[in-house]
Amino acid sequence: MQVLNWDKQTQKKVSRDYNHVFDKNIFKKVNRILAEVRQRGDVAIRRFTREFDGLDLPLKRIAVSEGDINRAFEKIKVSFVPLLRMITDNVREYYEKELKQSFEVRNADGIYLAKKYQPLERVGVYIPGGTAPLVSTVYMSVIPAKVAGVKEIVICTPPNRDTGEIDPHILIVANLLGVNEIYRVGGAQAIGAMAFGTRTIRKVDKIVGPGNPYVTEAKRQVYGFVDIDMVAGPSEVAIIADASANPDYVTCDLLAQAEHFGGIAYLITHSKKLIDAIRKRVDHGFIIQVKSIQEACEAANEIAPEHLEIMTEEPEKTLKHIKHAGAIFLGPYSPAVVGDYVAGPSHVLPTGGTARYFSPLSASTFIKSSQIISYTKEGLQKTREHVQKLTEMEGLVLHRIALEARFVDKKHEIKPETVAAEE
């Protein structure tokens, strides 16, 4: 690992925004794919599946059928289902405790203000393909949506290049969680299909889930047509450690990031002994040498990592100084891997420094709110003068008339069109 002192040059190196992953070529290719999917729908999906996945997929095979699900159950070990149920119970229990509640306020003037939280109606979940089936991403994304009350959940995932099939474990997890719309579509074309809708895949309200740079860029470009969870990049871990940290634990957790394509690892420490031990064991990533744990926290906040492990003598005390991180793991027996699979909170987390302003995927990701406002005539009367002054200041006469109309005698009724003409 490369050792860096925590100075202005290092701060500049680790202080990143998403300009560092912006690729003009990817932007142009994704823009072309999205435009064609928007215009040609399923025909474009089939074309891009042939071009990028090497599969000539008939249109009727885009959607996963009940028969596909039944065959998937025949291909797995019997022990998988009870294991899955134990894990998903953990995740579901966490999110059932997390949801925000609606509230209301009434005052003596007859004014009623409230906020009503409701689930999104239809959500798209992208599950990456690649070298291994990301089964955990299915339940880490679907369960929060289910707990929030989302009725329609759609999964898009790339088919296997050789067989045209989806990994049976992904199908079974989705099936057991009650997802009945699964499509053999990957890449930017999947994001486009969910954002714009095709004959086979109906438009969704929000798209969540990680993906490669093309998927990430597609999510960025469709934002506004639909909502998205975040713009995610390569996986990353930062470890704040002191001399009390076990070098073996630190080594393993840093190396685990190498299993993710483009994974980034940081060790932040003031222990020279730990630095000497780790730099010989781990090839990739950076060791940031600081003067104190306080400075280590400053470095971590600047990086704003996806996963932050705290392996110090007093991890809870260190935690008080952390402002920006996707998920924080305290102590030697809380490796990031436990958050990836079983702890409960979703492993879909902000990356690339975006933990400064993005939150992890959660049940609240799938909730939207409506503001409710109700005034009595008496309550409205008390605001009359304030509204009049503000509308005059902004020159919006008809705004004032909309309020004044509630207090005008029918004989002297104000006609907005007359006032507008006079103005």
Measure the CA–CA gap between 370 and 102, rounded to whole angstroms.
10
**So which residues are the catalytic ones?**
306-307
CA atoms within 13 A on the CB side of 109: 11
Residues 201 and 127 in one domain: yes
Looking up tokens 């990739």, which residue turns up? 284
**Residue 35 lies inside a defined structural domain of this protein:** no
Higher pLDDT, 133 or 89: 89
Looking at the fold, whether 66 and 186 belong to one and the same domain comes out as yes
H or E element at residue 416: helix 416-422
pTM summary value = 0.88
Same-domain status, 163 and 89: yes
Share of the chain above pLDDT 90, in %: 74
- Do 169 and 318 share a structural domain? no
Residue 308 β-bridge partners: 238, 328
Verify that 47 and 94 share a domain, yes or no: yes
Q: Which two tokens stand for residue 114?
A: 């409230």
Same domain, 119 and 164: yes
In the three-class reduction of DSSP (H, G, I as helix; E, B as strand; rest coil), residue 279 is classed as: helix
Give the other-Cβ count within 10 Å of 186's Cβ: 27
- 46 in a structural domain: yes
In terms of residue numbers, what domain contains 271? Answer: 2-19+234-346
CA quadruple 346, 232, 283, 10: dihedral sign: negative
Two structure tokens written together for 238: 């930062």
For the stretch 25-39, pLDDT in tens is: 999 999 999 999 999
96 shares its domain with 203: yes
User: Looking at residues 118-131, what average pLDDT do you find?
Assistant: 90
Report the DSSP pairing between strands 367-374 and 206-208: unpaired
CB count in 10 Å sphere of residue 192:
28
Q: Which residues have a Cβ under 8 Å from the Cβ of 393 and sit 6 or more positions away?
A: none
pLDDT surpasses 50 at 19: no
Lowest-pLDDT choice from 44-58, 128-142, 353-367:
128-142
Asked if 62 and 141 sit in the same domain, the reply is yes
Query: Which residue from 144, 202, 208 is spatially nearest to 177, judged by alpha carbons?
Result: 144
The confidence score (pLDDT) of residue 221 equals 96
